[in-house]
Amino acid sequence: MRRYGFLKHSLVDYPGEVCSVVFIPDCNFHCAYCHNKNLPASVRSNGVSLRDIVNYLKDAGQRFTTGVCITGGEPTLHPETLSYLVSLFKEMNLKVKLDTNGSNPDQIRSLSDRIDYFAMDLKTVPSRYVELVNACDTISNTIEKSIHLLLNMPVHRYEFRTTLSWQYVDEDVIGTLGKYMHPDTYWYLQRCRLENVKMNAKDVVAEYEKIFRCYQIAKRYTQHACLRE
């Protein structure tokens, strides 16, 4: 029986909704800052069944939960499971958000009518995605396809988010990514929090200055550039 990670309620994982978060483990990327590297093992030992999730949502959904965020890992690696979950949650009259790293545009396309909101990572410029995957030189085109699929949706149905890991992002990268944006695309720049890295006060100030400079650049391309912790 498949098991899932499950967070019963969140105010930060689905804009405007009180949501539950369902984690489908496994990922095809290996971002240096990933906080979910242990997700597969954790789900194997502490995951919950779909029946438990549904039972919770039937109760909480009637009281205060209005949406479900399906995240990972990378949920599109399991298309049948993902499709089934989307149908199930929609039948429960819940809004559904998908978090994706953009590596599967066919899944984005095929689910675009049923998913209410997409959040796609823009980790760096597409040409540098080879640093994040094992020996896949087509990934640049793949990411571009996913970017354009989202850009063709109404602006309230998607967001891009960029984790400001200086290993993959600098001001030039933000400038290049900005050129993809529509003037009203929601683009969240997120601070990169590395586990086990302690920063002194001077480093923190320097970090926030860099973040602010990136934000200023992002704002040139979209009125909806936002900062997120």
Q: Which residues bind ligand SF4 (CB under 6 A)?
A: 27, 29-31, 34, 36, 72-74, 101
Of the two residues 5 and 61, which places its CB atom closer to ligand SF4 in the complex? 5
CB atoms within 10 A of CB 45: 8
Of the two residues 30 and 156, which places its CB atom closer to ligand SF4 in the complex? 30
Tokens 């990327």 locate to 29
User: Shortest gap between Cβ of 73 and ligand SF4 (angstroms)?
Assistant: 5
User: Shortest gap between Cβ of 78 and ligand SF4 (angstroms)?
Assistant: 13
Of the two residues 32 and 206, which places its CB atom closer to ligand SF4 in the complex? 32
Is the separation of the CB atoms in 67 and 19 below 8 Å? Answer: yes
> Can you tell me the distance from the alpha carbon of 184 to that of 33, in angstroms, rounded to the nearest whole number?
29
Of the two residues 42 and 66, which places its CB atom closer to ligand SF4 in the complex? 42
Is the separation of the CB atoms in 177 and 125 below 8 Å? Answer: yes
User: Shortest gap between Cβ of 137 and ligand SF4 (angstroms)?
Assistant: 18
User: Shortest gap between Cβ of 103 and ligand SF4 (angstroms)?
Assistant: 8
Of the two residues 21 and 27, which places its CB atom closer to ligand SF4 in the complex? 27
User: Shortest gap between Cβ of 71 and ligand SF4 (angstroms)?
Assistant: 8
